Amino acid sequence: MGETFGLHLMLDGYGCDRSRLESEQFVYEFLDEFPENIGMTKLMRPYVFRYKGTDRSDWGLSGFVLIAESHVSIHTFPASGYVSIDIFSCKSFDTARAEKEIVDKFAIRRVEKNILDRGVEYPRNTDIAEKIVISERSQCRLKAVGAQ
């Protein structure tokens, strides 16, 4: 993770166990236990909401838990056997361990994984911030002198 602000793991799971995707209790328990399992600090109880669209197959669950390090969110689509889970944390974590637990919990057959470094310009300490500001000001001065 280097000098970035945080890590964002996004998992899309296909071919999931439908009964798990449609269970509010299962999704709630996942969100309740998962943060601690990956070394995070849960700040609140999870929230899970059921959505139903006009089409009978257009429904699912969305859940969220706020953690001290940021958040974990989930969206299920039972009719399609699909789940989307995001973990954003300003604290480094084992993405492979997180992925394995999610794959096991939701019985995912195929997973698509994306990992982003967030806040790549976010300085972790004032020395770095000072160097960035000085460099940017120097570049601005050079551009101003060149434009005259």
Residue of 89, 90, 92, 135 marked catalytic:
90
- Our answer to whether residue 73 is catalytic in this structure is no
Establish whether 90 is a catalytic residue.
yes
**Orientation angle between helical segments 24-37 and 95-106, nearest 10 degrees:** 160
Return the bridge partners of 70, or none.
67, 89
Selecting among 62, 75, 138, 140, the annotated active-site residue is 75
> Could you tell me the sign of the dihedral formed by the alpha carbons of 25, 22, 32, 104, in that order?
positive
Which residue carries 């328990």 as its tokens? Answer: 29
Identified catalytic residue from 8, 16, 70, 89: 70
Torsion 69-35-24-77 (CA) sign: positive
Known catalytic residue at 71: no
SS3 5: coil
> What radius of gyration do the chain's Cα atoms show?
20
56 Cβ contact list (under 8 Å, min separation 6): none
**Active-site residue set:** 70, 75, 90
